[in-house]
Amino acid sequence: MNILDWRATQSRVEVPFFPARVLLQDFTGIPAMVDLAAMREAVKTLGGDPKKVHPACPTDLTVDHSLQIDFSKCAIQNAPNPGGGDLPKAAKLSPLKAPAPPRRLPCRGPAACRGPCDPGEPGLGRGAGRPSTQIENTPLLCPFHLQPVPEPETVLKNQEVEFGRNRERLQFFKWCSRVFRNVALIPPGTGLAHQVSLEYLSRVVFEDDALLFPDSVVGTDSHITMVNGLGVLGWGVGGIETEAVMLGLPVSLTLPEVVGCELTGSSNPFVTSIDVVLGITKHLRQAGVAGKFVEFFGSGVSQLSIVDRTTIANMSPEYGATLSFFPVDNVTLKHLEHTGFDKARLKSMETYLKAVKLFRSDQSDSGGPEYSQVIRINLSSIVATVSGPKRPQDRVAVTEMKRDFRACLSEKAGFRGFQIAAEKQCDAVSLHYEGSDYRLSHGAVVVAAVTSCTNNCNPSVMLAAGLLAKKAVEAGLRVQPYIRTSLAPGSGMVTHYLSSSGVLPYLRRLGFEVVGYGCSTCVGNTGPLSEAVLSAVRQGDLVTCGVLSGNKNFEGRLCDCVRATYLASPPLVVAYAIAGTVNIDFQTEPLGTDPAGKHVYLHDIWPSREEVQQVEEEQVLCSVFQALKEKMEVRAPGFPWSIAGRVGVAPRVSEEDRRLRGATGDKRWNSLEAPDSVLFPWDAKSTYIRCPSFFDKLTKEPAAPQPIENAHVLLHLGDAVTTDHISPAGSISRSSAAAKYLTNRGLTPREFNSYGARRGNDAVMTRGTFANIKLFNKFIGKPAPKTIHFPSGQTLDVFEAAELYQKEGIPLIILAGKKYGSGSSRDWAAKGPYLLGVRAVLAESYEKIHKDHLVGIGIAPLQFLPGQSAAALGLSGRETFSLAFPEELSPGATLDVKTSTGKVFSVIASFDNDVEITLYKHGGLLNFVARKFS
């Protein structure tokens, strides 16, 4: 009755939700699996049976984030990847060969080559012979997808290094697949977790012993929400909550507000789905949908393809919604038919969904869903945009890009500005690269990446990029060789349709070569820029730029020298790479000149919507989807579900079947040795996998919440502190505490790898917490991963200061402003502070997922009263803070805080429900679950 009376009880009713399946990616999945392995140790210590610790919910883990770009553009990148290693001994190129290619055109070496060359000509480097506009499409087969790829050598080499560099992690994963029931491992090189979920794992409707029920999924990746575009309910909940679901507990959430978003009109021909995504993101962020469910309806929905919908749904974490849902309709059914669903199953699905009123129809003018709020968006009002230079929500119309960038140069350093003096804004620096001279200035593009996030499931934007590249090459345009370009498809399907449509060689000619399948540039794995470029950037103190087609562009994410990063649609990434700068007005300034000296403008080479749709219909639908699924079932290593499961049958998989998954198709994965023991044999020398200390003080019964007395402030932070600022990601700086730890264990900087790859080692991750170079701590007054240890007055790395506080037995808190913990769901953004000794965070407001993580690890999320803040209360952060928790703690309770200066003020204990209070009293979710097994 409380749920039916949702208008009156919405903010109070707790809903236990059991999803049908769990999806993990390796960066966030490996901590979850390490925690499960450590939990077995804890259960044994408490006298329980460690064999009882198994995931109860079917769990798929895709190893998709360990790829780094060591090889690209036909060349071995001799400099080590930032945080990546030198080529490990175990990663020497294997004799694994792709099928023999047709005759290739002569190539004169990696330094000059961006693609196949004219017969007898010396290559396509600067100063070489005239490039050909006719490119041979050489149909080699990718050994993992059995689909044509012109240059698979690069993919194979990168995967070879990936296996060598991450051997310890992969061996641990293999142990997990052997000892844990209901865990399926999808090894590297198969595809991205969210892409695999969308293309192969999603059933839309399950059928189990004649029982029908809707498909649903939760997981540890912010891109989980992509499946909502297919009518599958799914969202990211972070590693801690995911572990609970894996172990049979429900996701507990307050009955959410459901916001209806009515789409009307249609977008103009020059607007891509990425523009639609960013336009909707702006509207929904302004409307305030944080923590809410969004459901799309209206006539405009029918004009969006499934791939458009999945792209839109994928961005829901960026505007704070828990998820954005597109109900199944006729467009969905048509897509499913094209992608291999059995027609009888489709009919059964349609009948079921209509019977339970989960089927969307434009004719439903009355009797439709009731929403807590309705937002209306006219698609015809959306214009082409990019997003940046430092945050995804800062949208800039492409027509205003030049003016806006110039304004950012002048603005005070902050979310948008770079504070470059007026007299230095026209500075340019000479760059000598590969025998030629160039000029770099503010706005110069040095990284251009069509990445694996957000858009690779959308053929329209990817094909638009390929067609634009084709027209650009035919017009004689090129990309300067010093720009770090890459193409990292989300799956072999993307490579297939780019290749079969004939545009992949043209992308490669411009430097956008397939470098592998996995997250790359947008998680900091972009690979090093040349020393010549780095030197020029430092010499001129230049604001250089990265342009990528992902959905994350927070400061410092790419590399130190790229100060501005813009998110753009794939065709615009290619366009800005050709232009070589973001300081350009595409309406009035040319991209370059053709061989006759005539100016070539963007509108000259921009493909029309009709062109894109024609190629999409001919090359993508029906045959491509069906062929790829058949090949993936046969050859994709570790592919967990059969086509029978894909068409709606809930598979029942035996333990032996689970163990045998991945037994075909990948020689490297099959050859990996892994133990079969009940408990994982932790190696004290390992710098990748380490038993965490979360269970060190675990007792059979939880103690009452202890007061926080005389706590010092570790960090005094402002607004919009993201999980990128808190939790380590990307490369490991040579001057960081994590680097010192690894160096002391005999590793060289070439062997550091990335924080993401080392998320199974709590010692590395704790030292990397708050190690972001862009962290602005008010105690320091400038961006730096530093703080003050107040008892001694020393300015230290955050980890070093926290270590001293812990030795002194002093508890810690963090002061923060609005939207603390925004960005990607990342459990180490809570685990790291916990291991640093942080007992509570006091902020003006939180991103909900991160707040849930704090509760789940045992950190109290405290919130200033409305209208109050540290500044309004006159808090400097140099005081000490004390508070106590009542024995009967209730959601939203008000607590009194006393400072060493005598000030007393009230805060809100930001617990949403009784379940969160129970978890906090247990010291976090992990302790709660471990006690249940004991």
Cα dist. 237→250, 323, 519 in Å?
12, 11, 20
d(CA 625, CA 17): 32
The 10s digit of each residue's pLDDT in 102-121 is 333 223 232 333 333 332 32
pLDDT computed for residue 92 by the predictor: 35
The 10s digit of each residue's pLDDT in 88-107 is 333 333 333 333 333 332 23
Which range (384-388, 735-739, 836-840) has the least confidence? 384-388
d(CA 266, CA 578): 30
Identify which has the larger pLDDT, 907 or 240: 907
Query: Following DSSP, what letter does each residue of 132-192 receive, concatenated?
Result: PS-------B-TTT-SB-S-HHHHHHHHHHHHHHTHHHHHHHHHHHHHSTTEEEE-TTSB-
Greatest CA separation for the chain:
84
What is the residue type of 538? Answer: R
Which range (49-53, 198-202, 233-237) has the least confidence? 198-202
Burial of 343 (0-12, 13-18, 19+ CB in 10 A): exposed
**Who's near 566: CB < 8 A, 6+ residues apart?**
386, 387, 388, 389, 396, 545, 546, 547, 548, 553, 576, 582
The 10s digit of each residue's pLDDT in 744-772 is 999 999 888 888 888 899 999 999 999 98
pLDDT computed for residue 293 by the predictor: 93
pLDDT computed for residue 495 by the predictor: 82
pLDDT computed for residue 922 by the predictor: 92
d(CA 221, CA 787): 31
- Does 289 score more than 60 pLDDT? yes
- Does 302 score more than 70 pLDDT? yes
d(CA 156, CA 189): 9
What confidence category does residue 629 fall into, taking pLDDT thresholds of 50, 70 and 90? low
What confidence category does residue 707 fall into, taking pLDDT thresholds of 50, 70 and 90? very high
Tokens of 343: 């027609």
Q: Are 778 and 731 in contact (CB under 8 A)?
A: no
- Does 441 score more than 50 pLDDT? yes
**pLDDT above 70 covers what percent of the chain?**
80
pLDDT computed for residue 363 by the predictor: 64
pLDDT computed for residue 383 by the predictor: 87
pLDDT computed for residue 678 by the predictor: 94
Count of CB atoms within 10 A of residue 369's CB? 12
What is the residue type of 217? Answer: V
What confidence category does residue 632 fall into, taking pLDDT thresholds of 50, 70 and 90? very low
d(CA 354, CA 502): 41
Identify which has the larger pLDDT, 645 or 814: 814
d(CA 374, CA 370): 9
Cα dist. 18→15, 234, 574 in Å?
10, 11, 43
Q: What are residue 478's phi and psi, to 5 degrees?
A: -155, 170
Cis peptide leading into 389, omega within 30 of 0? yes
What confidence category does residue 317 fall into, taking pLDDT thresholds of 50, 70 and 90? confident
- Does 775 score more than 80 pLDDT? yes
In terms of average pLDDT, the best of 1-10, 108-117, 196-205, 473-482 is 473-482
- Does 644 score more than 70 pLDDT? no
Q: Are 245 and 280 in contact (CB under 8 A)?
A: no
- Does 176 score more than 80 pLDDT? yes
The 10s digit of each residue's pLDDT in 137-163 is 333 333 333 344 444 577 677 777 778
**What are residue 760's DSSP bridge partners?**
none
**Who's near 638: CB < 8 A, 6+ residues apart?**
184, 185, 186, 187, 190, 661, 662, 665, 666, 669
pLDDT computed for residue 474 by the predictor: 96
- Does 124 score more than 60 pLDDT? no
Mean per-residue pLDDT, 369-384:
91
d(CA 201, CA 645): 8
Mean per-residue pLDDT, 676-694:
91
pLDDT computed for residue 76 by the predictor: 31
Mean per-residue pLDDT, 557-571:
82
Q: How many residues are listed for the chain in this entry? A: 934
Cα-Cα-Cα-Cα dihedral of 273, 604, 614, 196, to 10°?
-40
How far is CA 760 from its chain centroid? Answer: 18
Mean per-residue pLDDT, 719-739:
88
Q: Identify the residue whose tokens are 């929403």.
A: 371
pLDDT computed for residue 624 by the predictor: 52
Which range (185-189, 503-507, 649-653, 760-764) has the least confidence? 649-653
What is the residue type of 769? Answer: T
d(CA 739, CA 82): 12
- Does 352 score more than 50 pLDDT? yes
pLDDT computed for residue 921 by the predictor: 92
Instruction: Give the mean pLDDT of the chain.
Output: 80
pLDDT computed for residue 494 by the predictor: 81
Q: How far apart are the first and last CA of the chain?
A: 36
pLDDT computed for residue 214 by the predictor: 94
pTM reported for the whole predicted model = 0.65
Q: Where are the beta strands (DSSP E) in 759-853?
A: 786-789, 794-797, 812-815, 838-843
* Angle of CA points 861, 15, 840, to nearest 5°: 5
The 10s digit of each residue's pLDDT in 492-531 is 778 878 888 899 999 999 999 988 776 665 555 666 788 9
